[in-house]
Amino acid sequence: MHTIACVVQPGFAPFEFGLACEAFGLDRTDDGIPMFDFRIVTPDPGVVASNIGFSINVENDLAFADEADLVVITPIPRDAWDAVDERVCEVVRRAVARGAWVLTVCSGSFVVAASGVLSGRRATTHWRYAETMSRMYPDIDVDPNVLYVQDGRIITSAGTAAGLDACLHLLRLELGAEMTNTIARRMVVPPQRDGGQAQFIAAPLPVSASMSLAPVTDWVLQNLTLDLSVDQLAARAHMSPRTFARRFKADYGTTPAAWLARQRIIHAQRLLERTDLGLDAVAFEAGFGSAAVLRQNFTRMLGLSPTAYRARFSCTTEEATSRDAAA
């Protein structure tokens, strides 16, 4: 991924627009991060008004979007959802047809939905608008309970900050976990959040509740090599397994088993990038037990094998890739 077009239209939301600029538009070469050719485009170049009383001047029309590796669609006003600019819809269709990435932030998903490319696919948007999207586009499987959805090379994200989660997810796929962690550190945000929108629909959790399991999860991250069970974690939290599972889902938006599996994968990614350990050793350190189990889980979650991941993202030597290929 080298070229990125960020599409803005009249009534754009500044914060969501800024997320794309922050994630893809800054020069971070001093941290060893490749610099993207990032350009802001619009159907009618010139002054483009935001939804909060100020405007920006956009010099580029949509032509650049037709050669971009990634097209980012920022939100448009609600009263424009049923009258999306056909020129932007065409850009989205052509991007999908040529295999480029398409990423939406918040209600930008309505633009992509209007283009027709989400038909028969799974997608998400802000939880407040999920029912509207389902009603307008019944052929789209709208999931209101997640931060973002990747279906093929289309990524739709939920409200506001979830757009940053989606951007980091794509950066992780393109640059690897280590570089993405560096970007996240620069932005002072977690590189990967678990959970979904269900965590934010009701009133926020009290600090005491959201922090109550932190000692347990911190301990888990230091002991991934162990064969851990929900019963063991519940005992460390001084709860029954049923209460622990319910509290964990409320705090983290996912089950203890799913969270643990994700943490094991993240640790395996780091080891594959930063060390020359063989697959058996990586599997042990990440708690998978064997290279076969590591391969199965890694491929299921990330869509490529550990060996392919190392070949793409390794920060050490090519010897590690050769040894893994022979394993």
In this structure, what CATH number is given to the domain that contains residue 97? 3.40.50.880
46 in the same domain as 106: yes
Q: Is residue 196 situated within a structural domain? A: no
Q: What are phi and psi of 123, to 5 degrees?
A: -155, 175
- CA pair distance 120, 223, nearest whole angstrom: 41
pTM of the model as a whole = 0.70
Contact indicator for 180, 171 with CB cutoff of 8 Å = yes
Residue 278 has pLDDT above 50, yes or no: yes
Residues whose CB is less than 8 angstroms from the CB of residue 303 and which lie 6 or more positions away in sequence, other chains included? none
User: Are both 215 and 163 inside the same structural domain?
Assistant: no
Are 177 and 219 in the same domain?
no
Look up the domain containing 183 and give its range. 3-187
Q: What whole-number distance in Å separates Cα of residue 209 and Cα of residue 284?
A: 33
Residues 198-209 pLDDT 10s: 544 433 333 444
CATH number of the domain to which 327 belongs: 1.10.10.60
Please tell me whether residues 135 and 235 are part of one structural domain: no
Indicate if the pLDDT at residue 3 is higher than 70. yes
Highest mean pLDDT among 60-64, 169-173, 271-275: 60-64
Tell me how far the alpha carbon of residue 59 is from its chain's centroid: 29
Q: Is 200 contained in some domain?
A: no
Tell me: do 54 and 175 sit in the same domain. Answer: yes
**192, part of any domain:** no
How confident is the model at residue 193, as a pLDDT? 66
pLDDT mean over 25-47? 96
- Establish if 280 belongs to a structural domain: yes
Contact 188, 323 (CB under 8 A): no
Q: Are residues 159 and 229 both part of a single domain?
A: no
Distances from the Cα of 297 to the Cα of 262, 281, 303, angstroms:
10, 16, 10
Asked if residue 270 belongs to a domain, the reply is yes
Residues 128 and 183 in one domain: yes
- Decide if 195 is inside a domain: no
Q: In terms of domains, do 170 and 107 share one?
A: yes
Residue 199: the pLDDT is: 43
Q: Is residue 143 part of a domain?
A: yes
Give the confidence band of 239 by pLDDT, cuts at 50, 70, 90: very high
Which burial class, exposed, middle or buried, applies to 107 when counting CB atoms under 10 A from its CB (0-12, 13-18, 19+)?
buried
- pLDDT tens per residue, range 116-139: 999 999 999 998 899 999 999 999
At residue 318, the pLDDT reads 44
Residue-level pLDDT at 312: 78
Whether residue 234 is predicted with pLDDT greater than 90 in this model: the reply is yes
pLDDT at 36 over 50: yes
In a domain, 148, yes or no: yes
Say yes or no: 269 and 150 in one domain. Answer: no
Give the end of a domain, one of 123, 158, 187. 187
**148-151 vs 154-157, strand pairing mode:** antiparallel
Same domain, 80 and 151: yes
Residues paired with residue 39 on neighbouring β-strands, in sequence order: 5
- Distance from chain centroid for Cα 176: 12
pLDDT of residue 204: 37
Work out the percent of the chain whose per-residue pLDDT is above 90: 66
Q: What is the pLDDT of residue 211?
A: 56
32, pLDDT greater than 80: yes
Query: Residue 119 has what pLDDT?
Result: 96
Using H for helix, E for strand and C for coil, what is the string for the chain? CCEEEEECCCCECHHHHHHHHHHHCCCCHHHCCCCCEEEEECCCCEEEEECCCCEEEECECHHHHHHCCEEEECCCCHHHCCCCCHHHHHHHHHHHHCCCEEEECHHHHHHHHHHCCCCCCEECCCCCCHHHHHHHCCCCEECCCCCEEEECCEEEECCCCHHHHHHHHHHHHHHCHHHHHHHHHHHCCCCCCCCCCHHHHCCCCCHHHHCCCHHHHHHHHHCCCCCCCHHHHHHHCCCCHHHHHHHHHHHHCCCHHHHHHHHHHHHHHHHHHHCCCCHHHHHHHHCCCCHHHHHHHHHHHHCCCHHHHHHHHCCCCHHHHHHHHHC
Residue 258: per-residue pLDDT: 87
- 84-112: pLDDT as tens digits: 999 999 999 999 999 999 999 999 999 99
| Identity of the highest mean pLDDT range in 185-194, 228-237, 250-259 | 228-237
Last residue in a domain, options 187, 214, 242: 187
Do 115 and 229 lie in a common domain?
Answer: no
Tally of domains within the chain: 2
Residue 184, pLDDT > 90, answer no
Q: Which of 187, 222, 242 is the last residue of a domain?
A: 187
**One domain for residues 25 and 125:** yes
